[in-house]
Chains A and B, each alone.
Chain A
Amino acid sequence: MALLVGMLCPATGALLITHRRLLQANLTSHAVVPGIVLGLAIGLDPAFGGVLSGLIGVLVAERLSLKRNAENEAVINTVLAGTLGLGVLLIPLLEIRVDLESILFGDLLAVGGIDLMRICLAAIVLLLVLKTSYQKLVYLGLDPDGAAASGLRISSLRLVLGFVTAIVVVSSMAAVGVVLVIGLLSAPALFGLYQAPSLYSAMIRSAGFGILFSSIGFLLAIAFNLSPGPLIACLCLLSLLVLGRFN
């Protein structure tokens, strides 16, 4: 599970960084919380609720951002805080028992078969999207205006990106939590992107670095009896120092 999450998150992160969508990914990672809580409350698969509310969060932010173009980051962060707040409030309002800490920070040592299935499903979705839309995604990331001019459906492609982000975040929840997942989406991808000749190559390299990060984090967690999610996040932070010297 650690290896799968370590591979999938950075590969997706490389895609998001090149599309300048990491802030939206951070929003998604928080906006999945109300859906997870609602899913648990009504007896649905919380992953389904999480993907849905993550997507809704991104769509709401994009809708509001269109009207306030100059303050996009502020709008995104406000939606991020609002959706997370809503998720936290829903727990006492719906009177359900939820381990909020494991949703936010994960518990890799307690993952089960269903979590493994989710991460495999997320990987399949990512591979399918790359198989069918790789060239279009490259065009969109490189030159959004040119992509629109050539007749590509930009909003559909961005919705697909939002969906991939939501499903990757939700499926990684059990391992590293929806808050710490952003570290795995970012740091290994920064290494992977360095001098990569193509997006595909950057994603493969990022996945490789991600496997390295999560393996080290997981082994250290077992050795020192610590929680793997926060440990991996700290490793991501330390890795930036290495990257700074490298650059």
Chain B
Amino acid sequence: MTNLIARGLSFSYGKELALNDVSLELKSGTLTALVGPNGAGKSTLLRLLQGQSLPEQGDIFLDQNPLGTHRHQVALMPQRSSINWNFPITVEALVSLGQVKSAKRSCCDTEASLQRVGLSALAKKRLDSLSGGQQQRALLAKTLSQKASVFLLDEPCAALDPPSRAQFLRLARQLAQAGLTVLVSSHDWGKALNAYDKVITLDKTVLAFGTPEDVQSKLQLINSMGNHCCG
């Protein structure tokens, strides 16, 4: 049960500002969507929240503790495009990579993660023989085997058909119901946001943060003021 809190995060790539004064709070047991247009800084924010990059300004805490010493509690599932799908590897070998930094590796953890995403029957299959939806679930199983309490999923539903997308979101919901903190970056707008408990709208800074209804009404206001970046 871990709350993730970020305060005043800023980050730049050279002279280009990627994030400016981003603050948010992710409570345990909640499923939160992170939405925003391309280049809004979603992936950058996820990398900061996972501790892969350090913010130029601002702080990140897991409950009361600074992220630095508790990084292992945050797991990041990367975007589809960063995976080498032709790599010769079976599904179970992929999932076991989640424990590559663990002192003790257990085949039971791998099996449990595969069961959780419903891929036990495909454990011995080569990764590139799976469908897109199955591949995403295999990646999620790998992320789950890290035994973290906060899960950051970077566009897990990109390039998935609607049934696979719905199935993936059901899995994410089950994780939140199990008391984990889950943040899902997404390009889905409109009704798709109703599947989440909270929604963060990002465009280099947080434009709106709240329940899906709150955020949608705030976005309508923002759009009516001339900012058409979202929705």
Contact = CB atoms under 8 A, between A and B. Distances in A.
The judgment on whether A and B are partners is yes
Interface in B63-100: 71, 76-79, 82-84, 86-90, 93-94, 97-98, 100
Given A201-B88, A202-B88, A142 B97 contact: yes
A198 B89 contact: yes
B201 interface: no
Contacts of B187: none
Nearest to B105: A135
Interface of B: 47, 50, 52, 71, 76-79, 82-84, 86-90, 93-94, 97-98, 100-101, 124, 126, 142, 146
A112 interface: no
A199 B82 contact: no
B78 A146 contact: yes
A214 to B, nearest CB: 23
A225 to B, nearest CB: 40
Nearest to B79: A145
Contacts of B101: 150-152
Contacts, number: 70
Given A142-B94, A150-B98, A152-B101, 10 more contacts: A20-B84, A142-B83, A142-B87, A143-B84, A147-B100, A148-B52, A150-B101, A151-B71, A151-B101, A197-B90
B87 A18 contact: yes
B100 A136 contact: yes
A152 B100 contact: yes
Which 7 residue pairs spanning A and B have beta carbons closest together? Answer: A196-B88, A145-B82, A142-B87, A145-B78, A149-B76, A202-B88, A149-B52
Contacts of B52: 148-149
A246 B78 CA distance: 34
B78 A138 contact: no
Interface in A19-71: 20
Interface residues of A: mostly helix, strand, loop or mixed? helix
20 contacts: A18-B86, A18-B87, A138-B97, A143-B78, A146-B76, A146-B77, A146-B97, A146-B142, A148-B52, A149-B47, A149-B76, A150-B98, A150-B100, A151-B71, A151-B101, A152-B101, A195-B126, A197-B88, A197-B89, A197-B90
Interface string A135-171: 1101101111111111110000000000000000000
Contacts of A138: 87, 89, 93, 97
B51 to A, nearest CB: 8
